[in-house]
Structure 1
Amino acid sequence: MSVVLKAEERAVRPRSIRKKLREEGRVPSSVHGNKMGNISFSVDAHELDKAIRENGLNAVYTLDLNGKKISTLLHTYQLDTFSRAWIHAEFLAVDMNEEVEVEAELTLVGTSKGVKAGGVLEQNLYAVMVSATPDKLPERVEVDITEMAIGDALVIGDLPAQDGFVIVNDSEEQICAVTEVSAAEEEATATAGEPEVITEKPAE
């Protein structure tokens, strides 16, 4: 999926220019890669927010810069810690015919048989690295766990072949496991459910 962002080239100096751009509702940005030098520009903050909200972080963002269309991926970005306002965004220019590697969220889908039987699901991996051409990059990878019983573990190598992309993590890396509830955990759960008993100090 490709999303067009209108970009305006900007000066790099003085540094106060970036603050002025943010005050005007624009995001100081840069793009590099795919045999092109670093170019500084800005995009509208609301348009960038909307594009990411609707298409995700792994979408192809086509920059319309000085009449030229540049296919990019959002490489890194910085937000204000408190206000979550944009501070800077860095885009990576890509060749649409060449594979790239990005991180995608890993989402467990369904309720396992083991959990229904009283087991506990432990998730060890929350994101994976995927390789694909830019237009095939997934925002997330869903993993069906409904058939997992108590004692089962799922590793990368257990996943079926994906359509359009490849997961490049080590095949033995564990995604999740369903384990039995330990005696200590059962005791802690039972204790947490017991009402507190308050006794009065006997009169002297």
Structure 2
Amino acid sequence: MSVVLKVEERATRPRSIRRSLREAGQVPAAINGNGLSHISISLDAAELEKAIRENGLNAVYNLELNGKKISTLLHTYELDTFSKAWIHAEFLAVDMNEEQEVEADLVLEGLPKGVKAGGIIEQNLYTVIVSATPDKLPERVEVDVTALEIGDSLTVKDIPASADFTIITDVEEQICAVVEAKAVVEPEEAGEAAEPEVINAKPAE
């Protein structure tokens, strides 16, 4: 998946220029890698958010700068803790024929047989590192769990091989397991509680 975003070169001084850009709805950003050395740019925040929402974080972002397109991946970004407004973004320029490593979400698909029998499923791993050419990088890796019985588990090595990407994460990492539901111990009814000892009670005659 790839998408085109128009960007503009920006000044880096004075430091207040970043605040001015954000107030104008722009994201201060930079491009590095593949022979490029920190090109300072800005782009429309709404357009970037829309592109990520529609294409995901692992899409190829073709940045159109001065009439040329640079193939990139969104490498890192920073959002304001409270407002979630964009603070900065870093794009990594890539060779479309060279494999890259990124993080992809692990998504469990289906309802395990063990859950139908009264068990519960516990997920222990939520992402994996994958390697592929930029155009083949997945946003998510789906794992079918429908066959799992109580006591069964899945590890990374159980994920079916893909022709598009390779999983780099340790194959012994456990993804999930179906376990027995823990019994809920009900508190004793008040009427069933042991009678309290009476101090200095008069003995029965």
- TM-score normalised per structure 1: 0.90
Distance 1:74 1:68 in 2: 18
| Aligned pairs for 1:123-162 within 5 A | 123-162=123-162
Identify if the C-alpha distance between structure 1 residues 15 and 145 changes in structure 2 by more than 3 Å, giving closer, same or farther: same
Q: 1:105 is aligned with what amino acid?
A: D
Partner letter of residue 141 of structure 2?
Answer: V
Look up the SS of the partner of 2:96 in the other structure: coil
1:195 and 1:25 map into 2 onto residues whose CA distance is: 62
User: 163-172 or 55-64, which moves further after superposition?
Assistant: 163-172
Aligned-residue offset at 1:26: 0.3
State the alpha-carbon separation in 1 of the partners of residues 143 and 180 from structure 2.
Answer: 21
> What is the SS of the residue equivalent to 1:64?
strand
1:59-109 deviations in Å (ceiling 9; x for gaps): 000000111210000000011111111111110000000000000010001
One-letter identity of the residue aligned with 2:101: E
Separation of aligned partners in 2, 1:187 and 1:17: 59
One-letter identity of the residue aligned with 2:23: E
Between structure 1 and structure 2, the one with the greater Rg is 2
Q: How big is the shift at 1:163?
A: 3.4
- Match runs of 1:27-46 below 5 Å: 27-46=27-46
Post-superposition offset of 1:195: 10
Verify: 1:111 aligned to 2:111, yes or no.
yes
TM-score between the two structures when normalised by the length of structure 2: 0.89
Residues 39/153 of structure 1: CA separation in 2 closer, same or farther (3 Å cut)? same
Shift of 1:196: 10
User: Which structure 1 residue ranges, 4+ long, deviate > 4 Å from structure 2?
Assistant: 194-197
Match of 2:167 in 1: 167
Structure 1: runs of 5+ lacking an equivalent: 198-204
The within-5 A match list for 1:1-204 is: 1-181=1-181, 185-188=182-185
Secondary structure in 2 aligned to 1:186? coil
Distance (Å, rounded) in 2 between the aligned partners of 1:122 and 1:39: 45
Q: 1:67 & 1:128 partners in 2: Cα distance? A: 36
Structure 2: distance between partners of 1:51 and 1:98: 23
Task: Flag structure 2 segments of 5+ consecutive residues without an equivalent.
Answer: 192-205
Q: What amino acid does structure 2 have at the position aligned with 1:63?
A: L
Task: Return the offset for 1:180.
Answer: 1.5
Structure 2: distance between partners of 1:117 and 1:171: 28
The letter for the 2-side match of 1:100 is Q
Taking the aligned partners of 1:34 and 1:167, their CA distance within structure 2 comes to 23
User: 1:49 is matched by which residue type in structure 2?
Assistant: E
CA RMSD of aligned residues (A): 1.7
